């Protein structure tokens, strides 16, 4: 076997792992879209906000400390405690539920029945707001997030593949953990939506708002729950990405990476998000590996979009999306 | 009383079909043009032109372009930054003399006058926009919005890597050389404030006039039919292919002109990822939303708003106070009092009626914010760190977008229309 081919396999595997992380973000989009028809552009910023909150809570940062210091001339920064990761995650989950309630109560309750594109633009506004809010609350510097996840090269895979191919594959431990967590999350979400009362209510709302309302389902509660779930998914994605590359502004840009994933997989399908994520992850890594050197590299920025665009022209509803039927 | 159409009789179809059929509107329009062309150039200095007038005029052109696409034709685009980059680089190639390679032989066009370079750049962008508009025939709504992101990322990447586009310069930047019209320098390092202002004003006026008339005519009605329901429009005989693609072409033409002016006249030197990144796409979209979807005046209002907001925030918050006068202190205490009142009212309404947003409390909050603005301006700035002000700006812009979408989806233009209706009778009750 040639070296190029073995490199190719390594690139392929790393692409799969990256794809899992894209799929994690895309999952949050799908959840909200299915239940409320809102295409939530702010999902990436929610991940950033969740990760920044987690770091802030664990380090005992005073929220809005910079703003408070600027207004009152004080000099407060830390409460002076350090929390273990699990407590921090629980507290952050509470914050995300609060955020979900606020979003539902103050924004989307007033926009019920508006056109989808207006809702989409509202979520762009929400993304801007949250971005500034997160920086005001926790500061904008790059933060290190460590909740005790394993990191670094997986030596077992390295040694095994070295034994077989004579070349050790570089696979990050964190990527493996992310894959496992994503798989668990999807299984949990499927069980939740198929076998619990709230999950059934959620699917009913997704099917038909009016009918769900008429059988006594509390729409507001379901929507807050869905936004909380999306917030939780954002938290998981934020932990993974934050551990990988630090908590910083670029974290919110993963939403832009998840969009083509959704277009490929279809906005309404959880398996679609997973498969789409894997295709995009592998595709962009392989494209960069094979074609990238010919055109000057950095093709990862646009490859996913162009792939999704070409794909959409032939199948407008995505791989697993429901057929779009339009009537006058 | 102050705005009326009574007594304004029209005796011919030409009268009825003019751009501003109401006499009052027409005279106001002439007055605004007179002030903008004859008075402002005498008064402006470099700071005013570079901080306010140039960005305002250029963003207005871009916002009109995007408004044609989003507000009139209903096709949401997030690729504005990329199309502005096309305009900028096309303008650069035309004004420095485009070199074309055919069969290994280089042919060089002579450098073209800056005025025509800008217009040609608009045509090039229109063509590129047409290409990226093709998917709109198959996909709709936010699928299309996401698809236009492909244009944004691909075009920015292309201008980073394609050395022909920046004349093989080592830095990868493009720099506008000195070009003049009638012997007056328009681009380059030694320009006069009034000259660049007038140059952009001519473009803004022309494009706005054309846009206004396009949207009133049959083309505009076709766009609006497509926007309201494309299948129904197709059934009554609007060709969706031509309507959508013409909207993309016209919109990109405007955005391309804005990009060319932004590079050549306003910035002078451009690095594509920095100047035409995705943030630019969002800012122009926000101008359209805040100003008012489907309104030419709204494009100007939105552009003015988002250009002035950072300037105002900097004056209010980031600058350091020189001296605190007793008058300013009065406003400071007044602000605290008003703020306390509104906070108490919010609390009371929350406890009493289980609804958190109470209208009267909102009025008090608005009054307290207004007092705070006056206070901050009279003392000459709060002296906060600039990064906090920048974050605050994000929060304010995001909140405003949401507030406008919830409370007034037609933006500042609708507020303007409502106030005109009020002024028709004011101060009389009937």
- The span from the CA of B64 to the CA of B261, in Å, is 15
Look at residues A136, A41, A305 and name the one whose alpha carbon lies nearest to residue B155. A305
Instruction: Nearest chain A residue to B391 by CA: give it.
Output: A132
* φ and ψ of B187, to 5 deg: -120, 170
CB atoms within 10 A of CB A153: 13
Q: What is the pTM assigned to this prediction?
A: 0.86
Question: Which residue is closest to A299 within chain B, CA to CA?
Answer: B157
Tell me how far apart the alpha carbons of residues B95 and B93 are, in angstroms, rounded to a whole number: 6
Decide if A322 is inside a domain.
no
d(C-alpha A106, C-alpha A227), whole Å = 13
Contact B188, B177 (CB under 8 A): yes
Beta-carbon pairs below 8 A across chains A and B: 147
Nearest CA in chain A to B405: A122
User: From the list A70, A129, A131, which residue is nearest B385 (CB)?
Assistant: A70
Partner B contacted by A121 (CB < 8 A): yes
Confirm if B49 and B191 have CB atoms less than 8 A apart: no
Domain-located, residue B244: yes
Cβ–Cβ below 8 Å for A132 and B402? no
Q: How many CA atoms lie within 13 A of A308 on its CB side?
A: 37
- Is A134 among the domain residues? yes
Please name which of A238, A64, A55 lies closest in space to residue A143, comparing C-alpha atoms: A55
Q: What is the DSSP letter of B370?
A: H
**Res B129: pLDDT:** 92
CA A246/CA B15 separation, integer angstroms: 65
What pLDDT shows up at residue A15?
81
Instruction: Find the mean pLDDT for residues A104-128.
Output: 82
- Domain identity same for B192 and B115: yes
Please tell me whether residues B7 and B123 are part of one structural domain: no
B1 has a pLDDT exceeding 60 = no
- Range B155-175 average pLDDT: 81
Local structure of A294: helix, strand or coil: helix
From CA A259, how far away is CA A301, in angstroms rounded?
12
Backbone angles phi, psi at B184, to 5 degrees: -105, 125
Mean pLDDT of all residues in A255-282? 80
Mean pLDDT score, A44-65: 84
Q: Domain check: are B56 and B185 in the same one?
A: yes
Out of B278, B388, B397, closest to residue A128 by CB = B397
Contact A128, B401 (CB under 8 A): yes
Q: Where is pLDDT greater, at A148 or B368? A: B368
Mark whether B59 and B38 lie in a shared domain.
no
**What pLDDT digit, counting tens, does each position of B228-262 carry?**
888 888 899 899 889 999 999 999 999 999 999 99
Q: Please identify which residue in the block is written with the tokens 């339009």.
A: A326
Nearest-by-CA chain B residue for A141: B387
Here the ipTM equals 0.82
Is the predicted pLDDT of residue B358 greater than 70, yes or no? no
- Structural domain ending residue among the three candidates B306, B329, B353: B306
| A116-138 and A43-59 helices, crossing angle to 10° | 20
**Is A207 a member of any domain?**
yes
Mean pLDDT of B129-151: 82
**B312 falls within a domain:** no
Of A70, A128, A328, the CB nearest to B384: A70
DSSP-assigned beta bridge partners for residue B107: B100
Q: Which of B139, B229, B402 sits opposite A129 (nearest CB)?
A: B402
Looking at the structure of chain A, the number of domains it has is 1
pLDDT range class, residue A244, cuts 50, 70, 90: confident
Backbone angles phi, psi at A143, to 5 degrees: -110, 145
Are A76 and A162 in contact by the 8 Å Cβ rule? The answer is: no
Say if residue B168 is in the same domain as residue B240: yes
Contacts of A208 (CB under 8 A, 6+ apart): none
d(CA B82, CA A305): 14
A70 vs B: CB within 8 A: yes
Distances (CA, A) of B426 to B8, B23, B27, B412, B422: 19, 19, 20, 20, 6
- Please check whether residue A295 touches B, CB under 8 A: yes
**Report for A75-79, A201-205, B33-37, B334-338: range of highest mean pLDDT:** B33-37
Rounded Cα gap, residues A142 and A109, in angstroms: 35
Q: Which residues on chain B are in Cβ contact (under 8 Å) with A309? A: 135, 147, 150
Residues B70 and B149 grouped into a single domain: yes
Say what the pLDDT of residue A279 is.
85
How close does chain B come to A269, measured CA to CA in Å? 15
Are A312 and B137 in contact, with CB atoms under 8 Å apart?
Answer: no
DSSP state at residue A219: H
Total number of domains constituting chain B: 3
For the ranges A129-138, B78-87, B101-110, the one whose mean pLDDT is highest: B78-87
Summary mean pLDDT of chain B: 84
pLDDT, residue B411, reads 83
Q: Is residue A122 part of a domain?
A: yes
A48 versus A173: the higher-pLDDT residue is: A48
Closest-CA residue of B relative to A261 is B146
DSSP string, B155-209: HHHHHHH-GGGGTT-TTS-EEPPPEEETTEEEESSS--HHHHHHHHHHHHHHHHH
What is the enclosing helix (H) or strand (E) of B106? strand B105-108
Q: What is the DSSP string of B40-76?
A: HHHH--HHHIIIIIHHHHHHHHHHHHHHIIIIIT---
Beta bridge partners of B106: B101
* Domain assignment of residue A12, yes or no: yes
Measured between beta carbons, the chain B residues lying within 8 angstroms of A299 are: 157
Three-class DSSP category at B270: strand
Any B CB within 8 A of A66 CB:
yes
pLDDT surpassing 60 at residue A1: no
pLDDT score for B111 = 82
- Sequence-ordered strand ranges (E) for B238-333: 269-270
The verdict on residue B137 lying in a domain is yes
A262 touching chain B per CB within 8 A: yes
B10 and B49 part of one domain: no
The confidence band for B430, taking pLDDT boundaries of 50, 70 and 90, is low
- Contact predicate B100/B106, CB 8 Å: yes
Say yes or no for a CB contact (<8 Å) between A328 and B235.
Answer: yes
Is B363 among the domain residues?
yes
Same domain, B192 and B299: yes
A152: phi > 0 → left, psi -120 to 50 → alpha, else beta; which? left
- In this prediction, residue B258 carries a pLDDT of 94
Does any domain span residue A327? no
d(CA B130, CA B119): 17
Q: What mean pLDDT value characterizes chain A?
A: 80
Nearest chain A CA: its distance from B267 CA (Å): 25
Q: Is residue B391 scored above 80 in pLDDT?
A: yes
Residue B386 lies in a domain: yes
Alpha carbons A38 and A108: distance in angstroms, whole number: 9
The residue ranking higher by pLDDT, A234 or B375, is: A234
Nearest CB partner across the interface for B398, out of A129, A260, A308 = A129
Whether the CB-CB separation of B55 and B307 falls below 8 Å is answered with: yes
Same domain, B257 and B123: yes
Nearest-CA distance B237 → chain A (Å): 14
Mean pLDDT along residues B124-131: 92
- Residue B274 has a CB neighbour count (10 Å cut-off) of 12
Phi, psi of B18, deg, nearest 5: -75, 165
How many angstroms separate the CA atoms of B120 and B97, rounded?
13
Q: Which domain holds residue A185?
A: 3-314
| Dist CA A81 CA A78 (whole Å) | 8
- Host domain of residue B151: 45-306
Q: Which of B154, B398, B401 sits opposite A302 (nearest CB)?
A: B154
Which chain B residues contact residue A132 at CB under 8 A? Answer: 391-398
pLDDT per position as a tens digit, A3-40: 777 777 778 887 888 788 788 778 878 877 877 777 88
Asked, for residue B311, whether it belongs to a domain, the answer is no
Identify whether the C-beta of residue B426 lies closer than 8 Å to the C-beta of residue B1. yes
Which helix (H) or strand (E) covers residue B148, if one does?
helix B141-161
- Is residue B125 within 8 A of residue B86, CB to CB? The reply is yes
B128, two tokens: 């590129």
Q: How far apart are the CA of B269 and the nearest CA of chain A, in angstroms?
A: 23
Lowest-confidence region among B97-111, B222-236, B383-397:
B97-111
Cβ(A183)–Cβ(A24) below 8 Å: no
Residue B430 within any structural domain of the chain:
no
Distance, CA of B383 to CA of B385 (rounded, Å): 7
Query: Is A67 part of any domain?
Result: yes
The half-sphere exposure of B367 on its side-chain side, counting CA atoms within 13 A, is: 15
| CA triple B112-B204-B3, angle to 5 deg | 160
pLDDT in tens, A297-323: 677 777 888 888 777 777 777 777 666
Same domain, B10 and B157: no
Q: Do B199 and B331 belong together in one domain?
A: no
Please tell me the predicted confidence (pLDDT) of residue B355: 62
Last residue of a domain, one of B253, B274, B306: B306
pLDDT class of B332 with cuts at 50, 70, 90:
confident
Residue pointed to by tokens 């076997």: A1
Strand B105-108, strand B174-175: pairing: unpaired
**Is A51 among the domain residues?**
yes
Beta carbons within 10 angstroms of residue B7's beta carbon? 6
In this structure, are B90 and B183 located in the same domain? Answer: yes
Integer Cα distance of A93 and B377 in angstroms: 41
| In a domain? residue B53 | yes
**Gap between the Cα atoms of B204 and B300, Å rounded:** 10
Confirm if A265 and A274 have CB atoms less than 8 A apart.
yes
CB atoms B401 and A121 under 8 Å: yes
Are A136 and A66 in contact, with CB atoms under 8 Å apart? yes
- β-partners of residue B9 are none
CB contact under 8 A, A128 and B229: no
Q: Are the Cβ atoms of A305 and B160 closer than 8 angstroms?
A: no
């Amino acid at each position: 076997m040639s070296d190029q081919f073995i490199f190719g396999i390594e690139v392929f595997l790393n692409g799969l792992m990256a794809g899992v992380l894209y799929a994690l973000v895309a999952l949050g989009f799908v959840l909200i879209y299915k239940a409320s028809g809102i295409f939530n552009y702010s999902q990436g910023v929610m991940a950033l906000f969740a990760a920044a909150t987690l770091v802030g809570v664990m380090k005992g940062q005073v929220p809005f400390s910079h703003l408070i210091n600027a207004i009152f001339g004080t000099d407060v920064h830390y409460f002076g405690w350090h929390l273990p990761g699990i407590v921090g995650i629980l507290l952050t989950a509470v914050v995300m539920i609060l955020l979900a309630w606020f979003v539902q109560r103050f924004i989307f309750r007033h926009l019920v029945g508006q056109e989808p594109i207006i809702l989409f633009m509202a979520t762009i506004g929400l993304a801007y707001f949250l971005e500034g809010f997160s920086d005001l609350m926790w500061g904008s510097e790059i933060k290190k997030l460590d909740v005790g996840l394993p990191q670094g090269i997986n030596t077992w895979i390295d040694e095994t593949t070295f034994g077989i191919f004579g070349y050790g594959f570089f696979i990050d431990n964190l990527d493996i953990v992310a894959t496992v967590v994503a798989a668990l999350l999807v299984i949990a979400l499927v069980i939740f939506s198929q076998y619990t009362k709230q999950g059934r209510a959620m699917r009913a709302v997704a099917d038909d708002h009016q009918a769900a309302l008429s059988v006594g389902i509390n729409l507001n509660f379901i929507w807050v729950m869905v936004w909380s779930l999306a917030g939780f998914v954002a938290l998981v994605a934020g932990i993974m990405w934050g551990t990988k590359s630090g908590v910083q502004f670029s974290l919110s840009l993963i939403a832009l990476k998840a969009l083509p994933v959704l277009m490929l997989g279809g906005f309404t399908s959880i398996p679609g998000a997973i498969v789409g994520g894997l295709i995009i992850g592998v595709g962009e890594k392989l494209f960069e590996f094979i074609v990238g050197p010919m055109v000057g590299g950095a093709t990862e920025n646009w490859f996913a979009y162009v792939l999704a665009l070409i794909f959409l022209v032939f199948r407008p509803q995505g791989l697993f999306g429901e057929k779009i039927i339009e009537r006058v | 009383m102050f705005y009326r159409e009574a007594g304004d009789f029209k005796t011919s179809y030409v009268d009825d079909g003019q751009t501003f059929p109401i006499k009052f509107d027409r005279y106001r329009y002439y007055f605004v043009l007179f002030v903008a062309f004859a008075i402002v150039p005498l008064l402006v200095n470099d700071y005013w032109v570079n901080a306010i007038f140039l960005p305002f005029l250029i963003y207005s052109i871009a916002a009109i372009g995007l408004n044609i696409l989003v507000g009139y034709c209903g096709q949401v685009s997030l690729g504005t930054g990329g199309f502005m980059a096309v305009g900028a680089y096309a303008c650069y190639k035309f004004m420095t003399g485009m070199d074309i390679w055919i069969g290994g032989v280089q042919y060089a066009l002579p450098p073209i006058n800056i005025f025509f370079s800008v217009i040609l750049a608009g045509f090039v962008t229109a063509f590129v926009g047409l290409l990226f508009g093709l998917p709109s025939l198959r996909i709709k709504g936010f699928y299309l919005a996401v698809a236009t992101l492909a244009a944004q990322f691909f075009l920015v990447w292309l201008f980073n890597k394609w050395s022909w586009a920046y004349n093989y310069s080592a830095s990868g930047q493009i720099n506008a050389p000195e070009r003049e019209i009638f012997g007056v320098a328009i681009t380059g390092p030694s320009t006069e404030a009034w000259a660049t202002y007038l140059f952009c004003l001519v473009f803004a006026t022309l494009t706005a006039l054309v846009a206004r008339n396009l949207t009133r005519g049959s083309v505009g009605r076709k766009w609006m039919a497509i926007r309201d329901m494309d299948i129904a429009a197709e059934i009554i005989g609007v060709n969706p292919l031509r309507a959508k693609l013409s909207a993309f072409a016209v919109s990109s033409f405007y955005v391309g002109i804005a990009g060319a002016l932004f590079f050549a006249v306003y910035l002078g030197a451009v690095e594509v990822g920095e100047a035409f990144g995705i943030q630019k796409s969002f800012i122009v979209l926000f101008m359209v939303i805040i100003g008012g979807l489907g309104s030419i005046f709204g494009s100007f209002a939105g552009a003015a708003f988002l250009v002035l907001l950072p300037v105002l925030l900097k004056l209010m918050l980031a600058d350091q106070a020189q001296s605190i006068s007793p008058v300013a202190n009065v406003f400071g205490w007044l602000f605290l009092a008003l703020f306390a009142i509104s906070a108490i009212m919010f609390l009371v309404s929350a406890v009493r009626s289980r609804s958190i947003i109470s209208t009267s409390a909102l009025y008090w909050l608005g009054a307290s914010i207004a007092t705070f603005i006056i206070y901050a301006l009279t003392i000459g700035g709060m002296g906060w760190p600039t990064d906090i002000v920048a974050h605050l700006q994000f929060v304010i812009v995001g909140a405003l977008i949401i507030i406008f979408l919830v409370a007034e989806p037609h933006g500042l233009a609708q507020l303007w229309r409502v106030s005109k209706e009020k002024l028709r009778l004011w101060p009389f009750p009937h």
